[in-house]
Structure 1
C-alpha cells in the first residue's frame, strides 16, 4: 500500500517555462492539451509492449481528477478503458522484446 495510492496532481507545462515532468515507472499518467495544435513529446524506459499496457478512464470517479475542461477528442483506445479496478494493477510478466 502506498500513501499516495489513487491521489493525483495537476501540472501545467508551457513552452515559455521550459519545464518538464518526470513520471516514475509504474505510475499512471494522462494529459490534456489546453490549446489547439499542441505537440506532446515523451520518452520511455522500455520498448512499447502492448500486452503490458494498463489504463482507466480519464473521467473515472475513483480518482476525482479535476480536469480544466472535458477533452474534445479522446482516442478510441482510451475511451474503451474500463473503470478503475485495483485487481487490474497486478503486473503480469510479459515476454522480453528485442
Structure 2
C-alpha cells in the first residue's frame, strides 16, 4: 500500500471503503450520481473511495456507450458499487 494519511487509514478501517477495496481486480459496475454508470475492472480504490478502473465502458444517461482504456471516478460521484456475485460476503 502506498503512503496513506491518518484520515485515509481511518476511512479504510471504519467505513465501507474496505469492501470496495476487496473487489479490486474484479469486473463490476459503478453507478454514478448523475444516473450514468461505468462497467469495467476495478484497478485501485484509495482510502477516500476514489476509483481507478481499466477496460471501462461509460454509459451516459441516454444509454450511449463510450469505451475507455482507463477511467477515474471521484468518490463524491459514486452512488452505488455492484458487488460481483462470486465475492462471498459474510456477516459476523
Same fold (TM over 0.5): no
Structure with the higher fraction of residues in helix conformation: 2
Larger RCO (CA under 8 A, 6+ residues apart): 1
TM-score (norm 1): 0.21
User: Which structure has the larger Rg?
Assistant: 1
